Structure 1
Amino acid sequence: MSAIERFPVEALPDNGLLRFLTCGSVDDGKSTLIGRLLFDSKTILVDTLHAMKRTSERRGLDIVDLSLLTDGLQAEREQGITIDVAYRYFTTGTRKYIIADAPGHEQYTRNMVTAASTADLAIILIDARKGVLTQTRRHSYLAHLLGIPQIVVAVNKMDLADYSPETFARIKADYLAFANQLGITDVRFIPMSALHGDMVVDRGDHLDWYDGPTLLEILESTPAVHSEHTEKFRFPVQYVCRPQDSANPELHDYRGFMGRVESGELRIGDAVTVLPSGRETRVKDIQVLGESQARAVAEQSVTLLLADEIDISRGDMIVKTGELPQVTKQIDAMLCWLSESPLDPRRKYLLRHTTRDTKAMLAGIEFRVDINTMERQTAERLAMNDIARVRFKLAQPIFADPYAESRGTGAFIVIDESSNNTVGAGMIA
C-alpha cells in the first residue's frame, strides 16, 4: 500500500514542506535510497522508470538500478559515485519534500555544506558491513555544525549482514559514543535495505525484530520547519516599491517594503523597529500580490506598509520592537572555505548577510578543524573545504543573530569581488 493510499483523499492532512539531506561515505547507498523512496511511494514518472530499466539492462543488471534517478551526471554514472548535489522533489499527498543527495568523497565536502545549509533533517547512511567510518564522522560533524535539527542514522545494506540485530546494535553504540563527543543528543536509528526496500516505505519481511517506524513514517511525522521553537521576527528589506502611475492618485504616496520573512511572524498593528536607524513605527498593512492579509509568517514573501514615513532602503531590516538583533561591525563565525583559491588574509572580500552587502577583512583565524580527527589546529590561511573559527571586521554594520538561534540571520556568504564567485559560507557564533 502506497503512502497516498493510506489516507482517504478527503482526510489527507498537510504536514508542510520538509527539506532533507542524504549523506554518508562513498557507496553507502544514498542514491539507491532516494530511488527506493521515490519508487515505493509511486512518484517516479513512467518514462523515467523505462529509461532506468533500459540503462540497468545495458549494464547487465537483473533489477532496476534505482541510483540512476539521482546520479544524473555522466561522470557519476561512469564512476558509480555522486559528485554534485542532486535535488529531487516529491509529495506523498500529506507532505511535500525536497531531497538533496550529497556527495560522499572528501574532496566534495563543500558540496555537502551547500546541501546541508537549508536542510531540516539529515539522513546519515552507514554500510552495515563497514560500520562508522571517517566520512560518517565528517558528515555528522557538518550536519551538527550547520544546525540541522533532526538527524536519522540509517544502517543500510542490512541484507548483506544477514539482517543481524547484533550488527545494528553494535553500529548504534559506536555512533552514539562519537555523537556524545560532538554534543549530538537527539538521534534516531533505523536498520534498512534500500536495495530491497526493507524499512524505507514498507516494512518488508526481514527486519521483524525492529519495532520502530519506517523511514517514510519518520519523515512524515518530523515537525515542520520553523515549528520547533518561537522565533523572533526578522524581515530584511529587498526592494522599496514606489509605483509611478499618474493616472492613479492613490498610488502617489504608496511606499511598500518588499522582502522575505526570514523568521517569526508579524501582524497588522504590531510595533516594529527599523535598522540601522532605530526608528520605531507600526505596521499599517501586509500585502501579498496586492491583497491585504492579517499576518506574515516565516519564508513568506510579502510587502509591508508602515504607519510613518521612514527612510528605508535595500539591506535594512525590520524587526519587532523589543526583539532587536545584534548590530555589529565585527563577527566571530565558523567559516567553510569553498574556493580553490586559498583565503588571503590581506585581501578585502564582500560579505553578504541577508540582503545587505559590506566590505570585510579577515581579522584572525582562531583555529582550523581537522575534519578527520575533529582536532583544533592553528592556521594562517584556509584552503578549499577547510572549516575554521574566524573573525571578520566589516565596513558597514550587519544585523545578526547567532546561527544556533536563527539560520536565516545567522548565516552569511563571502564573495570574491574580482570574480563575483562565492568563496566561503559562514555561521555566526
Structure 2
Amino acid sequence: MSNGLILFKNARLIDPASDREERGGVLVRDGLIQAVGPQVTEASDAQAIDCGGQVLAPGLIDMRAFIGEPGGPYRETLKSAGEAAAAGGVTTVVSMPDTSPALDDPAVIDFIVRRARDTSIVNVRPAAALTKGLEGREMAEIGRLREAGAIAFTDGARSVTNAQVMRRALTYAGDFDALIIHHVEDPDLVGQGVMNEGEFASRLGLPGIPREAETVMLERDVRLVRLTGGRYHAAMISCADSAGIVRNAKDRGLPVTCGVSINHLALNENDIGDYRTFLKLSPPLRHEDDRQAMIEALADGTIDVIVSDHNPQDVENKRLPFAEAADGAVGLETLLSAALRLVHSGRLSLPRLLRAMSTRPAEILGLPAGRLAVGAPADLIVFDPDAPYVLDKRQLRSLSKNTPFDEARLEGQVSTTMVAGRVVFQRDTM
C-alpha cells in the first residue's frame, strides 16, 4: 500500500506513552500521524482500513536481534529478518555487531544502513561494536561509528571482561551521549557450563552456569557507571539477584537501564526437557523462581524493555548434543504472541506490556517512535490479542527455524503492520 493518506478506523487505541486506551481512529499522511482519537472516524480521499475493534498501537522496537549480513546470509538476511519482524509487529530492529566482518568500522555501518534501506521493510538500526573485532581489548572509534549511523555500542553476545576498557568506553561514550549495551555474563565463570546451575542440570548430567556469572559482571558495571556517569544498558538480565542490583542502581539515580529476553519471561529451565537444543540460550533459562522475579521486575519498572534476542542458527549448529549446540533462538515473529501470555495470565496490563516493547525502547534509544501522537512516525500495528493459533515453525519467515515455541499454543496475531506510513504487512485473514 502506498505512502499516502490512510485512515485506521474502528480501532481500540492503546498509547503506552500516555496509558491512554480508547476507541477511535488514526489518520496518517506522509509517514506521520496527522490525527488520533475517538473523533477520527472519517476522512475524504483517505484509504480506509477497518480495524474491526482490534488493538492499534505503536510498532514494537526490538533492541536485540542478530542478523547474518554481512558474512552469514544463510542464517538470516536483512530482507528475511524484516519480513519476520513485520509479521510479528516489530517496526524497528536494532541489529547486533556479531557479523563477519564485525560492525567496528564506519564503512561497514554505512553498508548496513544502506543495505537495510534497500532490502528491509522495517527500520533497521545497527549497533556498532564496542571494541575492535569484538575482542574486548581495544575500544572502537565511538565518535566515527556514531556519525556513520550506529545507534548504540555493544559487543553483542560477548562480554568486555577488562574493567579498564569498559571504564574508558563508558567515559568516552559520555562525550557523545552514546549508549553502551552490555551482555552481562562473565565467560570465566560460565566456563564449560551450558545451562542453569542447579538440580535440574545435575539430573541431566550437564555442566551448569551459576547466576553469579551474571551478577558479578553486572555489579562491576554498575560501579563503573557510578565512576564515569556513562549511559549503560544491561542487554538482558535473567535472575532475581540481577533485578535487585538494577533496582538499587536506579534508586541511586544512576543512568542504568536493562532488558529481559521474552524467553526468560515465558520459559524456565524445565522446558529444556529431554535436551531440547532450541532452548539452549545465553544467558541460560533459569529456575521458575527467577522467571517469576523477572515478571515482577518488569511490572514494577525495574526492567525497562523486552527483547526477542533473535538469534538464527542453522540446522547443523542446533542438531547436535546439547553441550555442543550453538546458543540462540529465533524470536522476531513470536515476540508479541509470547509476551501476551503475561496479559492473558493477569500479570501485566496490555498498555504496560506495550510500553516495555515500544515506548521505553524508543526513549532509551532516543527515537521519536513508540507513541500514538500527532507528529509521531506512523510506525503502527493492528493486532487481535485474543486470536489463538498453534505455531508451525515451517511457516516462520525467518530463514532459520530454531524457535523454542514450535507447536506451542499462542494467542495474539498481527493483522497489519505499517512503517513510516506504508503498510508493509497484512495478514491474509484481515
Point out the structure with the larger helix share: 2
What TM-score does the superposition give when structure 2 sets the normalisation length? 0.28
Higher relative contact order structure (alpha carbons within 8 Å, sequence separation ≥ 6):
2
The structure having more radius of gyration, on CA atoms, is: 1
Point out the structure with the larger strand share: 1
What TM-score does the superposition give when structure 1 sets the normalisation length? 0.28
